[in-house]
Amino acid sequence: MKRVMSSAASSSSARARPPAAVSTGVGSAEQPATSLRSAEPPAVIGDIAAKWTISASLDQVEVPKNMQTHERPMPLPFTINAWIMGKFFERRQYLGHGKSKVCYRLTDKLVLKLRDQRDPEPDLFRQLQATGVYTKVHASAQCQFGHETWHAWVVERAKPLDQILKDYPAASNVCIPGAVRAMLIAHLYNHILSDNALFNFGMVDGNVVIIDAGSRYGQPQLSKLRFTKKVMTPFWIKAQTLIHPATLKCYRQEWHVAGDDMATTLQTLETRWQELRSERRHLSVLNSLDERNSTTAKCPHVTSVIDSLDTDALDWLTQTYLWGEVAEYGPSSDGYTRRQDSNYTAAHKLEQLISETHGQRVHHCNNPAEDILDEAELKVILDAWKNDYEQWMRPEILNKTWSMTAQQWHQTLRRAFRSHLFQMVGSYEMAIFFVVAPFNNENLLVFRHCDNLEESKAYVRKKNANTRQA
């Protein structure tokens, strides 16, 4: 049976029956294991002998694309049954996935992470556990999924910072110092996050921890100058997709005055962090965040592309367009774009640009990730998109058009379509360009450096023709 998740679907608390083939762990066919949904995390730390297996649940709850955390097609089912740490977990639901791992919510406090090859993360997290800036690893083992062997580990569940900030922008005053402190402590132990976007940090019990180790450990220590360039500059610019540049400027300033060297800077950050944790008003915010179940759409396209974007170009894109006036425009409850009371993040705006232009390209490209469209193909797409006005034109505008002459209607339709595209990212030309060419780093640079839309289109088309000839 297939269902589609409406909001954050939770795992079942139904009593579970272990598969006949698996020998008894905690439960048996006669004595079903009780779901651990509301139980405390087990006290056992370390690997245990029982074999770990996962299988697709018959009751699949599919997660819509906009609620997934990454664009990569899910290599495993959304809903699984699992034998982990000698216990049976029934109908456990997808929590998130990235470029390499897949995560399920095992209980309220535990997450199962899986990768199809060995991953240094569980060992690294265990080694550096005492630092307090990594999620705690409860167990790890190989895990069978049919004939496939996966590597699996169970960690404490965190609330990813990108999800916190989308629901609660004011929490940046805790998320940013917490993430910076975590990176400084990690660096002290020669670990530098390969991707330090905020979705790779999380909050657990009012503490900011690293949830994705990445691949850069055993790194040499850096001076503050080098650390600022190599680690902090990309961090600020990626954070700018979630936090307004004016707010971020204050945190950047704090970073610069925190100390001349890494040791002093860490000391300043540590003192600041302890102050924040002891201020009751911040603590109550952090605790209430723990209970929140985010139903805000994720930004899978942005997550997938962000690490490959040139930092200057991303900085330019967010500052010039995404946080502008258009940040006020987003989908209302009926799905139509309107001016809203609260701002949409730059990540939401960019997600809309990529997903809508990609959605149009998909029907006209053999390979939407690469194809460059010619002018005739572009016209076909734009005409069809414009004429599908019931999908995008606000009903209050549409209702006013019934008494119009044919000429008035065509003018209104053209104008409304232009503003619909403009409201996506603050540039009609950019929306058109990313119908012609896929959104990626190279094409973003082309659009940035060409003088106008015509020049940008001509550039990518010429390059495409040259590549085909070669």
- The answer to whether 37 touches 9, Cβ cutoff 8 Å, is no
Q: Pick what 63 binds: ligand ADP, Mg ion, none; C-beta below 5 to 8 Å, kind-dependent.
A: none
Tokens of 2: 């297939």
Query: According to CB under 5 A, which one of 27, 41, 77, 98 is a site residue for Mg ion?
Result: 98
- DSSP string computed for 28-89: -SSSPBPP-TTSPPPS--S--SSPEEEEE-SSEEEPPGGGSS-SSPPSS-SEEEEEETTEEE
Residue 32 vs 120, nearer CB to ligand ADP: 120
Rounded CA-CA distance 36/97 in Å is 22
At closest approach, how far in Å is the CB of 404 from ligand ADP? 47
Strand partners, 207: 204
Q: Find out whether 56 and 120 touch, Cβ atoms under 8 Å.
A: no
Nearest-CA neighbor of 276 among 186, 171, 169? 171
Only one of the segments 48-56, 90-98, 278-286, 368-376 lies at the binding site for Mg ion (rule: CB under 5 A); that segment is 90-98
User: Which of the choices ligand ADP, Mg ion, none does residue 103 contact, using the CB cut-off of 5 to 8 A by kind?
Assistant: ligand ADP
Question: Which pair of tokens denotes residue 175?
Answer: 């998320």
Query: Closest approach of Cβ 214 to ligand ADP, in Å?
Result: 7
Distance CA(35)–CA(29), nearest Å, equals 14
Residue placing its CB nearer to ligand ADP in the complex, 62 or 371: 62
Give least dist CB 100 to ligand ADP, A: 4
Q: Is 135 within 8 Å of 213 (Cβ atoms)?
A: no
Interface mask (CB under 5 A) for Mg ion, residues 146-185, using x and -? ----------------------------------------
Taking the least distance from each CB to ligand ADP, the nearer of 5 and 397 is 5
φ, ψ for residue 39, nearest 5 deg = -80, 160
Overall size of the chain counted in residues:
470
CA 160/CA 200 separation, integer angstroms = 7
Tell me, residue by residue from 403 to 442, as one string, x for binding to Mg ion by CB under 5 A and - for no binding: ----------------------------------------
Q: Between 27 and 202, whose beta carbon lies closer to ligand ADP?
A: 202
Which residue lies nearer to Mg ion by CB, 200 or 240?
200
Q: Which is nearer to ligand ADP, 15 or 99 (CB)?
A: 99
- Which of 212, 237, 301, 346 is close enough to bind Mg ion by CB under 5 A? 212
Residue ranges that bind ligand ADP, judged by CB under 6 A: 69, 95-101, 103, 111, 135, 155, 157-158, 160, 199-200, 202, 211-212
**Closest CB to ligand ADP among residues 103, 258:** 103
Residue 176 interacts, among ligand ADP, Mg ion, none and using kind-specific CB cut-offs from 5 to 8 Å, with none
Nearest approach, Cβ of 140 to Mg ion (angstroms)? Answer: 18
Tell whether residue 121 is a contact of Mg ion (CB under 5 A): no
Residues 411 and 435 sit within 8 Å (Cβ to Cβ): no
DSSP character at residue 211 = -
Nearer to ligand ADP, 122 or 426 (CB): 122
**Closest distance to ligand ADP from the beta carbon of 411 (Å):** 46
Q: How far apart are the first and last CA of the chain?
A: 50
| Paired tokens of 203 | 């909050």
Question: Which range in 163-171, 194-202, 405-413, 440-448 contacts Mg ion by CB under 5 A?
Answer: 194-202
**Angle, CA 327 vertex, CA 340 and CA 95 arms, to 5°:** 85
Minimal distance in Å, beta carbon 208 to ligand ADP?
Answer: 12
Residues whose CB is less than 8 angstroms from the CB of residue 310 and which lie 6 or more positions away in sequence, other chains included? 441, 444, 445
Give the interface with Mg ion as residue ranges (CB under 5 A): 98, 200, 212
